[in-house]
Amino acid sequence: MNTSVASSNNSFTATLQDLIEYPTSGILSKVLLKDNNSQYSLFCLAAGTEIDEHTSTRNAVVTVVEGTGNLNLEGQDIALSPGVFVFMPANAPHAVQAQQNLAFVLALSEHSPEKKKINQKTINIIKFTAPILRKHGKTITTRMYEIMFHKYPEVKAQFDMSAQANGSQPAKLATAVYSYAIHIDDLEALKAMVEKIAHRHVKTNVLPEQYPIVGECLLQAIKEVLGDDATEEVMTAWAEAYKVLADVFINREQQIYQTVNS
């Protein structure tokens, strides 16, 4: 059951204990405040109630008012008791179990920005260039690292230079770029690859502001290696495609950083 206490941005104050009502079973929730950017709700769970694992597209905060229970957040059990505060990043799997009657405030942040979609023209161009990337991929990525280490020597510390010397790192990146090219219209197929790379990036402290550096150097390398095949149309498509992929990594890595630092 859901009831509404307030539905506007007007000033509002209440004593939470006065609003708590436990159902004989299940859940009773009350929306305390709601606008286009956020929502604050009071959840009252009868003892023994369970909320199955689910996710939210928005960042969320749980603040326990009274009672006890358990929150399983991304596989980790968190004991809930009065005063416990839990931040949950968007898309993090979580489930709740009320051991006693349990009341908590759930605050949902602003809606996550809609994922940017790659237009069909860009998809067609990237797929068309995929065979070229497969043929010249390692040459491109080797040149990309040369450009990057020359223009931005400060990033060298985050790379295994022995892997640069033996060519294994450029080869891995070339494989990743080619995989992206052939799956650009089905990014879900790249989930395992993104997860592996994102965790490696977190271990080496890759930051969001470094992605434009990599993009700049990668595009320059593509242009140099492909020569006449790197038309303005092709370069524009790859610039757009890279930006979308960079956003995927940035968002996932921010989630991992938040989990590691929590």
Helices (H), 79-154: 120-151
Q: Is the pLDDT of residue 9 over 60?
A: no
DSSP-derived secondary structure for 167-233: THHHHHHHHHHHHHHHTTT-GGGGHHHHHHHHHHHHHTT--GGGHHHHHHHHHHHHHHHHGGGS-HH
Average pLDDT, the chain: 88
How far is residue 234's CA from residue 208's CA, in Å, rounded to a whole number? 25
Q: Is the pLDDT of residue 41 over 80?
A: yes
Q: Which fold has domain 2-108?
A: Jelly Rolls (2.60.120)
Tokens read off for 33: 């405040």
pLDDT of 6 reads: 54
Give the strand pairing for 94-98 and 102-108: unpaired
| 173 Cβ contact list (under 8 Å, min separation 6) | 141, 144
Q: Give me the mean pLDDT over the 44-68 stretch.
A: 92
Answer whether 238's CB lies under 8 Å from 231's CB. no
Q: Is the pLDDT of residue 28 over 70?
A: yes
| 33 Cβ contact list (under 8 Å, min separation 6) | 5, 6, 7, 9, 12, 39, 40
82 versus 7: which is more confidently predicted?
82
Active site residue 40: no
At 70, is the secondary structure helix, strand, or coil? strand
Q: Give me the mean pLDDT over the 12-40 stretch.
A: 86
Active site residue 66: no
Q: Indicate the angle between helix axes 168-182 and 232-261, nearest 10 degrees.
A: 110
* Confidence category of residue 222, pLDDT binned at 50, 70, 90: very high
Answer whether 122's CB lies under 8 Å from 237's CB. yes
pLDDT in tens, 58-114: 889 999 999 999 999 999 999 999 999 999 988 889 999 999 999 999 998 865 555
Catalytic entry in 145, 211, 240, 242: 211
Which ranges in the chain are annotated with CATH 2.60.120.10? 2-108
How far is residue 103's CA from residue 65's CA, in Å, rounded to a whole number? 5
pLDDT in tens, 158-190: 888 898 889 999 999 999 999 999 999 888 888
Q: Which of 203, 189, 196 is nearest to 160 (CA)?
A: 203
Answer whether 56's CB lies under 8 Å from 39's CB. no
* Confidence category of residue 1, pLDDT binned at 50, 70, 90: very low
Architecture of domain 120-261: Orthogonal Bundle (1.10)
